[in-house]
Amino acid sequence: MRVVVPFGADRPKTRLEPVLDAAERGAFARAMLRDVLSALDAADPLDREPTVLADAPVDIGARVTVDDRPLTDAVGAALPAAPDDDPVAVVMADLPLVTADALEGLFASAGDVALAPGRGGGTNALVARDPDVRVDYHGASIRDHRRLARAAGLDWSEVDSYRLATDVDEPADLAEVLLHAPPESASRAWLDAAGFELALTGGRTGVTRE
Amino acid sequence: MRVVVPFGADRPKTRLEPVLDAAERGAFARAMLRDVLSALDAADPLDREPTVLADAPVDIGARVTVDDRPLTDAVGAALPAAPDDDPVAVVMADLPLVTADALEGLFASAGDVALAPGRGGGTNALVARDPDVRVDYHGASIRDHRRLARAAGLDWSEVDSYRLATDVDEPADLAEVLLHAPPESASRAWLDAAGFELALTGGRTGVTRE
């Protein structure tokens, strides 16, 4: 199995602008990417050196392919093209809660295509085992990916994981990192150093910054 | 194993006020409760007729215990009190994405206490297998439940399930129902009948109402 980790290096995490400046968004996005790569490295079996698929060069100590096309096109080009091609796992770079266990659940999933939904209609990870798998990351992609699998006559499964479902796009998502990231998490360490703390405000837990 | 489903019947789902009036919030909360009870009924093994633990009377076609104390006290009184007591699962009533599979993962979890986190620091389900398990549903309860387990010297585990993690409290959460509820879902049918549809708005998918 090949593993591809798409990473927006050009203008990372713009929806975190209310709480992080541009340099901080870049540093935090790289911390999340490091956490995903660490979890991939810890997942068993280990024959899956990942490729970071970035829209601009990034220095992260991993194999990087730069492809500045839209995500749908760049990921589409990385999927299996022929029946004998290795399966391909696509794991987003903004999943700082992810663990080796959660990834192993993804890799062990059934179907020509396995989909791990993200909050708000996204598709945070998938495994493509058939050359007819197609991706479309516009809009509510999980719905499109089901539709595309159905249209191609493929078997598909869904992976039920909160750790895979929790991508970090908006300020409220930072609370999830403080609550659930593994102890060794670079993302959590970065937020701690930047002065973020949990804020208990009646409803769901948010964050404050010192 | 006993199963307890806490249900706020008195003033259900107040944070949905921007999109649902009081009668609608009550009807939708009951639809979600029915979905949770249906998933419990479908989960194997079937020796777990649940008790709805409500803060006011509710007619739902299930065994109901009314306890109008705060949630922490009402659930605390339902937990195992002696070493020989059956384990107790506590499953919240606002989890319309839940399936029998997700519940079986909860029931099969390890530890004196197993915790299924909810988005924003909540604890959406747990299994208590020891009389020293305590609950505290104020604030970021998942953090408190870890702390209480540690303080009592208990082994605990966490259950990684998006379906268990997705409680419905706020309007944006309704999109998750439309995207992910099982086909037979009463909650989804209710939202469909009330005119809710997915709204694709750049970031995460939300809802609109006709």
Model ipTM value: 0.95
User: Residue B71 in contact with residue B41, Cβ under 8 Å?
Assistant: no
- A132 pLDDT tier (thresholds 50, 70, 90): very high
Strands A156-158 and A113-118: parallel
Q: Does B48 touch chain A (CB under 8 A)?
A: no
Predicted local distance difference test score (pLDDT) of residue B49: 82
Res B47: pLDDT: 66
DSSP A95: -
Cβ-Cβ contacts under 8 Å, B102 against chain A = 160
Partner A contacted by B101 (CB < 8 A): yes
B199 shares contact with chain A (CB less than 8 Å) = no
Residue in chain A closest to B138 (alpha carbons) equals A202
**Whole-number average pLDDT of chain A:** 95
For residues A130 and A112, is the Cβ–Cβ distance under 8 A?
yes
Give the pLDDT band (50/70/90) at residue B185. Answer: very high
Query: Does the beta-carbon distance from A121 to B175 stay under 8 Å?
Result: yes
Residue B207 has pLDDT above 70, yes or no: yes
Residue A46: the pLDDT is: 57
* DSSP symbols for B126-144: EEE-STT-----SSSHHHH
Contacts of A150 in chain B (CB under 8 A): none
CA–CA dist A33, A25 (Å, integer): 12
Residue in A with minimal Cα distance to B198: A140
Mean pLDDT of B181-204: 91
Q: Which residues of A touch B143 (CB under 8 A)?
A: 179, 198
Q: Which residues of B are less than 8 Å from A206 in CB distance?
A: 120
Confidence at residue B46, expressed as pLDDT on a 0 to 100 scale: 57
Higher pLDDT: A138 or A126? It is A126
* Nearest CB partner across the interface for B162, out of A99, A162, A198: A162
Q: B161–A161: do the CB atoms touch at under 8 Å?
A: yes
Residue of B154 and A210 predicted with greater confidence: B154
pLDDT attached to residue A139: 87
Q: pLDDT for A169-207, tens place per residue? A: 999 999 999 999 998 999 999 999 999 999 987 678 888
